[in-house]
Structure 1
Amino acid sequence: MTLVSSKLTEEHVFTSGIEGPACDRDGNLYAVNYAKQGTIGKITPDGSGELWLELPEGSIGNGIRFNREGDMFIADYTGHNILRVHMESKAVSVFAHEPRMNQPNDICIHGDGTIFASDPNWGNGTGNLWRIDPSGEVTLMEQDMGTTNGVEIGPQEDVLYVNESAQRRIWVYDLSENKEISNKRLLIAFDDYSLDGMRCDMDGNLYVTRHGKGVVAKLSPQGELLQEIRLEGTDCTNLCFGGPDGKQCYVTVADRGGVQTFAIDRPGRCWGMWNE
């Protein structure tokens, strides 16, 4: 099956800092930096958008995830925070603050609310991996990796994936019930371009944005490249799954300042968390 992307939004309704993205239970899509930096945009399933939230002064978002209760969590890379947003009141609070972070970049979330955050140092070509417990306690899991970026948990919540953008590698760890990582191994290494956000479907296939190449790579749980989905534009930054059956993929594309979409054959893990 050849997958083809189409535009969900018009181009340049977001800044070149467009990232996120994440869907709520109703299928609305949220992404950062709508119209200007430091905002959250809301896109309805028909593609219409609005400036939904302005973050506190000095905060700029990157990755977004929802927990099972429906709260939004945002990696605030300028404030060294993980922010929590109450969806009804739009009240923003600091869920976790860690000044030792270079920046929280992308995040993923376990079913029990535990968050893992990537933490790149772009200038040095290094990065860290952090865990944020449901209490907000922050723990350094690994340091002095490559430029950590995309991070995701497998659908059985027994593995954790972390990629390194500049080094073009994806690592996989065993993830224990108490959220410890072990048995680090290389899933795949690419020869060109770079890596950004990634998400799993319910079968454990990993969809990875190939920043600079303008494709989403679909990988098997064993690291086999199954296919590439071509996008309009080159600088795809992240993706998520939604739609009525969880089989719609939404991709943020920075050089086009908008969201593109394509259909897949299995629901995404993030959609599955809403419906288990």
Structure 2
Amino acid sequence: MIERKHTLSRRSFIIRGAAAGGAALLGGCDQLSQSPSFRDMLDRAEGLTEWAQSLVLSQRSMAREYAESDISVYFKPNGSTRVADPEYIRASQNGFVDWKLRISGLVERPGEFSLDELRRLPSRTQITRHDCVEGWSAIGKWKGAQLGPILQSVGLKPDARFIVFHCADKLSFFSNYYESIDLIDAFHAQTILAYEMNGAALPVPHGAPLRLRVERQLGYKHAKYIQHIEVVASYSDIGDGRGSYWADRGYEWYAGI
């Protein structure tokens, strides 16, 4: 017990210190947000936050898992809840039997996986808490294919560094949703491509037919409606170059809990 209290105290000290630095920066955002030097400083601050979290989070540490009795009666869908893309609509009306997940980029064997093929791959079931940056949380049961074995099956090239998720939904007129994670999170045991929620097929508002569950990060990292996975050396060419839809709009790319 003493050791755990010490660990939590150290974690709180580091993360609160990083948060305090961020708060000091944000206080002048209105006046400085257009300054290139200020943007560079924010980028460095984000890197410090990620570094601080990496000090207290083991690469193998697991997000807490819960009992069936803890599952939330209502689980609010995060982000978008529908997709207007005609190809997606046709696939959903057919139960996604003809839907395919495409994997490309820095892999030895680019290819496609049907939903049935994904269901036959090594899977994991976990009951975890979804924490939204808006301040709400909910507990759900997820089942899906572990991302690590999928990446091993297609063969990562030596310069592969990040996994980018291209999605079917749009939160703005010009851009489909996109997200990325590094290889540490990609190969974590709890990182899955979920096709079931609470014992049933993943509902459309929650990202059917496939969504990312990266349980050690905040909800906006859990990309929904995944249609294409791209393996890259850098995410500088994705969107505005910050690695995800929300990071390009001021959120942190690394959203560790």
Q: Same fold (TM over 0.5)?
A: no
TM-score (structure 1 length as normaliser): 0.24
* Structure holding more strand per residue: 1
* Structure holding more helix per residue: 2
Report 1 or 2 for greater relative contact order, CA contacts < 8 Å, sequence distance ≥ 6: 2
TM-score (structure 2 length as normaliser): 0.26
